Every structure is written in C-alpha cells, then in structure tokens.
Amino acid sequence: MEEKKIVASALQQAIPELDAEKIMQLLETPKVATHGDWAFPTFSLAKLWHKAPNIIASELVEKISSPDFEQVKAVGPYLNFFLNKEKFSQLTLHDIVVKQDRFGDTTIGDKQVVTIDMSSPNIAKPISMGHLRSTVIGNSLANIFQKIGYAPFKINHLGDWGTQFGKLIVAYQKWGSEDAVKANPIQELLRLYVEFHERAEEDDSLNDEARAWFKKLEENDPDAMYLWSWFREESLKEFHKIYDLLGVDFDSYNGEAFYNDKMDAVIDLLEEKHLLKTDQGAEIVDLSKYDLNPALIKKSDGATLYITRDLAAAIYRKETYNFAKSLYVVGNEQSIHFRQLKAVLTELGLDWAQDIYHIPFGLITSGGKKLSTRKGKIILLEEVLNEATADALKQIEEKNPNLAHKEEVARQVGVGAVIFHDLKNDRLNNFDFDLAEVVRFEGETGPYVQYTYARSQSILRKAKFTPSADENYALADDNAWEVIKLLQSYPDTILKAADKFEPSVIAKHAIALAQAFNKYYGNVKILTDDAQKNARLALVYAVATILKEDLRLLGLQAPAEM
C-alpha cells in the first residue's frame, strides 16, 4: 500500500489534472515481472491532452525522476515503474518486524458490527459436508473483517422449528428411549425421524398426531417444550464436537424458534404500510417493480414462511446489534429469497436494507455429482475430518516419525486441509471433493502452505534468529524481490478479500507466497555467513509471519514442526 501511494504521488506531480486517489484506482500490477512493479495506463489522459496514449507515456517518463524508482519506462500506452529494491525491501521487512501479525491491520471498520449468518444446521440432523462451505466461509470472513477494524458477530441461525418437531416428538414417544438419545443424539433422532416417515406411509394418522404435537409446541405446551428443548440441547452438544474440530465458535445460536414471537410485529408493520395484499387467501407483498415474484408472507391457512421469519430476524439484528453490514452466508440457490428479503425491507422504508448482503457459494460435488441428502447418502462432515486427520497422520509417520505431538499436528493438518481446499476455490464456483487430493503435502493445498511455514520456522530455529527493528534488512537481489512484492501486497490483499467477501483471495496469496519462498529457498543459501545473512533471515521471518496470518484468517493453524 505504501509503495502504491509513493508511485501515485510521483504521478500526481506530473499529472495535476488527476488527483492521487484517482491515480491509485488506475494503477495496475503488471502480469509479467519484467514489466516492473506498477503500471499506469495513460488511456484516461488521451482526451485531456489530445494525444495518443503511447506519446503521453513517453512524455511522462521525462517528467518523473525520483530515487524511489530504479527505472521508469514507457511500454506502449503504459508507464512502468521499477521500485528501488534496496529501499522498499528494507521498508517492507522493517514494517513486518515492527508490526508482526498486525501487518495489514487497519481501522477502516471503526469497530462497527458485522453480523454473519452462517452454518445453520437443522436440529436432530447430522452436520454434513453440505454445511462445510457456509461454516468456513463465514468464519474466514469474520476473521478478515476483524483484521480491518470491524466487530464481527457470528450467528448460527439453527433450523430448530417446524412440523418436523411434531413428527420427532411422536416418534420418540412411540419408539424412542432417553438412554438411546443420550448415547448417540443425532444418530438416534435421525433414526426416529426416518422411522416416522416409513410408518406414516402405512398409517396417515401419525401425520395428524405430529401436527397436533407441533400445535402444542406453538402454544408453549410444557411437555412439548421440554422435549423440543432437550432435542435441541442434545443436538448442540454433538454440533459443538464438530465446531471444535473446525476451530469455529459463535456469538449467538438464536435460530428459527427465537423469532416466533417477533413475526406478528412484522406483519403489523407491513399492514400499517399498506404493503400486504390478499391473493387466493394468502398474504403477499407485490415486488413486481423489482422484477421479482411476490413475497409470500402468510399462507392461506395462516402459517408464516421463511421470509416472514427472516424479516423479523433482520429487524431484530438491526435493532439489537446496529450492524454496519449484515452478511448471510447461504448457498447460491437462495439468491432470489435474499433479493426478496432486501426488497421487502426497502418497501418498508428501512434504508439499512442496502447493508444486507447475501454471500452465495457454489456446490461441493463428489465424483462430479451433487452430494445427496437422501437416506443413507449423507456424507458426514465429522467422518471426513477424521479421515483427513488419519491420512495426515499416516503421511507424517512416513516423513517424520519422531515428530513430537504428531497426533495433534495431524489434526491441524488434516482439518486444515479440508478447510483450505474449500476456501482456495472462488466462492461461487462448484468444486469436486477428493480426499486424496486434499491432504497432499505438494501442490496448491493447505498442507503445502503449512509445511512451508514449518520449514521457515526450522530455518529460524537453526539460525537462532531474533529480528530487530533497528537493523537494516535491505535486499536488492531478484530472488528476494519476488517474495518482497508478495509481502508488500498483503494489506491490499486483505482489503480486496473484504471488499469481494472472498476468502479465496487470502488462500491464493498464501499459495503464491509459499511457492515464491520455496523457489527462493531453492536458489539462495540463506544461512551463508556474509553481510546479507541477517537480511535473508529477516525475509524468512517476514514470510513465516504472513503465512501464519494468512492461515489464521482462513481458520487454519500453523504447526511449527511437521
């Protein structure tokens, strides 16, 4: 960021017609290293100066002279800047030595709240691979927004209400036992739920019983409420085991049930604003001016729908947390629902509706096919994490059998591999999950980045290196410069990830930095005793610091040894 400002300032003196902010927006990073460190396209000046862009670039070369640049060169319509390697390597390494893991921190968020609706599994059902994306994307976004000065508030909007609880109560009373549920809550509750459906196919009166019990639940019947609370509590205990494995926590577990008593106020507000219309007995809000289908607020039988509940949730969250942004990390298939949600809030005259963002994501597939949620076809997330950990342990025992705490390291590597594989993919893309590819120590994987971090720690331990803010760590060689440039880009990388709500920007930076460092490690003898030794070690220290922070932002741990 500092380097970019210096380039923009030099240009601004030569181009008084453009302010520094506009120049900053126009500056590009050349795709080819031999084209310099920053490039300024001159097309925007053609109309102002009534000259061809390539002539403008050539003329600007003559106007810019500064010790900050080794060279300023015109290449067609572009003005290419080659930074002074010695000066900027020292600047970057000194900055990281001083700030350490706070490098890239900003106060842009001004401690404003960002609510993040994420994960949201259904009570009494297992957490499957289908829940992975919402959970890890949401967690990473919380870390990223915290780094730029916001106060993230993670909400697990549990699926803890609906007619399925009437079915579950009937099934438990007829065929369940307290001991079986306590012994294996999710598996037993799911078994009861499946058994209910199988038996209801033969005996429809079971559905009547289930509806009656759900009505009791809606009326706060003590027996119904007791069983519902117990099922919820036992399910959450199981969910916590998986969240602990993933290293994810939440600030609120207020799910669908929490908003039961808050929906009438929303309906009253819609009526007060004359937004409700009756259509075939149902209550709707017309959204044709937004090119959307009507929002169905209440069915003809009086039952409310998801959007009613989500309207209540949005209003509650604004009133309670006064969020600056409200993120919903929910699959791409719900895009229309969230467009309707924003449109209805806008119709209510709530200007903060513009601060609501749906963060959609693509599907995880297996063998090219969508993960099925049909009976017996669920891919359990806990099983995948355990398999990945076992795979990592096997590889560690082959490569480094004497490693201390290898079971703990294997957990960090295996679980981290699953998280990283998800987050390195652009959020909107579908991707295929193949465990053998995920837990590889080579290639663009989490274990590769973690291993690079462990390698950097090994070098620092061997050298017994302690960085000093008072030492000059200038490095002018080309090998180091490729690494330095990736370190320099880190603050911009974080801002880009936040702006696009895209953790893959951080994951791609981690991969690029690990690859550049390993290339440097292969080409340079770091521990050779000469005048540059400490500067090279400062570079290793800086790489280790930023790789660890990249991994932390993604929700991974960084083992010091592997």
pLDDT at 156 over 50: yes
CB 454 within 8 A of CB 517: no
Domain ranges of the chain: 2-83, 162-241, 381-554
Question: What region, left, alpha or beta, does residue 120 occupy, with left being phi > 0 and alpha being psi -120 to 50 degrees?
Answer: left
- Cα distance between residue 562 and residue 537, in whole Å: 20
- Cα distance between residue 502 and residue 507, in whole Å: 10
Tens of pLDDT, residue by residue over 59-69, are 999 999 899 99
Predicted pLDDT of residue 377: 60
Tens of pLDDT, residue by residue over 396-449, are 999 999 999 999 999 999 999 999 999 999 999 998 888 888 999 999 999 999
Q: What is the homologous superfamily of the domain 381-554 according to CATH?
A: Isoleucyl-tRNA Synthetase; Domain 1 (1.10.730.10)
Question: 0.85 cut: is pTM over it?
Answer: yes
pLDDT at 530 over 80: yes
Strands of the 282-285 sheet, one edge to the other = 276-279, 282-285, 295-298
φ and ψ of 389, to 5 deg: -65, -45
Neighbours of 354 (CB within 10 A): 11
| CA R_g for the chain | 28
pLDDT at 200 over 50: yes
- Measured CA distances, 373 to 127, 129, 376, 422, 539 (Å): 11, 10, 8, 19, 48
φ and ψ of 59, to 5 deg: -70, -35
C-alpha 197 chain-centroid distance = 37
CATH tag for 2-83 (out of 3.20.20.70, 3.40.50.2300, 3.40.50.620, 3.30.1360.70):
3.30.1360.70
pLDDT at 167 over 90: yes
Predicted pLDDT of residue 375: 45
The letter for the amino acid at 46 is: A
pLDDT at 299 over 90: no
In this prediction, what percent of the chain has a pLDDT beyond 70? 98
pLDDT at 371 over 70: no
